[in-house]
Amino acid sequence: MRQLLDRFFSATGYLAGLFMVGTLLSVLASILGRLHPVFDLPGADAYAGYCMAISAFLALAPTLRRGEHIRVTLLLNQLPAKGQRVLDILCHAVAIAMSGALAWFSIRLVLQSREFHDISSGLDATPLWIPQLGMAVGTTLFALAFLGDLILLLRGEALRDPSAGDEPSRIE
């Protein structure tokens, strides 16, 4: 199950990378549109922002699974092994609650935007539920990643393989 989730989160990371490329292409389209009006793409600046936001939210879960989020371990490292485990479990439970709430409200925002036919204020009049969907999916996957990590912690398994060189970044 862990390998399946890791593959899924890895695919999500690649999708986030594609949206980053979309950001680049939107910015380039905006620049070209200013230089040559023939190439003008209405809303290119807005699309760049949408792609950047979607990329950031989709990258949350794979970044967590790879251990790349910065962890402040000043207190954690001062505790004995059993205390570290308890604090890590507690922190993951709080993280699930917070990321779960963010996912819940992100999903509600998408549903409300769709229901009320919210559109962007720019010339492109993009239905806002479309770019908001990336935030909802990203935050939901982030909560799922925390849940997967908590299950591993409760089973006594390591979150990451230290020999694979993907130890979490730490601030001590």
* Number of domains composing the chain: 1
Query: pLDDT for 125-147, tens place per residue?
Result: 899 999 999 999 999 999 999 99
Higher pLDDT, 138 or 41: 138
The residue among 151, 146, 127, 153 whose CA lies nearest residue 69 is 146
Evaluate whether residue 78 is within a structural domain. yes
- Specify the amino acid at residue 125: A
**Other CB atoms closer than 10 Å to residue 140's CB: what's the count?**
19
Evaluate whether residue 163 is within a structural domain. no
Percentage with pLDDT > 90 across the chain: 61
**Cα(99)–Cα(39) distance, integer angstroms:** 41
The rounded Cα 123 to chain-centroid distance in angstroms is: 28
Q: What is the pLDDT of residue 94?
A: 97
Question: What is the C-alpha radius of gyration for the chain, rounded to an integer number of angstroms?
Answer: 20
- Specify the amino acid at residue 171: I
Mean pLDDT across 10-21: 96
With tokens 């199950």, the residue in question is: 1
Backbone angles phi, psi at 68, to 5 degrees: -95, -10
Q: Which of 11-25, 37-51, 114-128 has the highest mean pLDDT?
A: 11-25
Evaluate whether residue 162 is within a structural domain. no
Evaluate whether residue 166 is within a structural domain. no
Provide the domain limits for residue 23: 1-155
Evaluate whether residue 66 is within a structural domain. yes
Name the packing angle between helices 129-154 and 44-58 (round to 10°): 10
Q: What is the pLDDT of residue 161?
A: 52
**Cα(143)–Cα(100) distance, integer angstroms:** 5
CA distances, 118 to each of 14, 77, 127, 133 (Å): 29, 48, 6, 13
Evaluate whether residue 164 is within a structural domain. no
Using the predicted structure, report yes or no on whether residue 164 has a pLDDT greater than 80.
Answer: no
Biggest CA-to-CA distance, the chain: 66
Q: What is the pLDDT of residue 166?
A: 47
- The mean pLDDT value of the chain amounts to 88
**Other CB atoms closer than 10 Å to residue 109's CB: what's the count?**
17
Evaluate whether residue 171 is within a structural domain. no
Q: What is the pTM of this model?
A: 0.86
Evaluate whether residue 103 is within a structural domain. yes
Query: pLDDT for 85-128, tens place per residue?
Result: 999 999 999 999 999 999 999 999 999 999 999 999 887 889 99
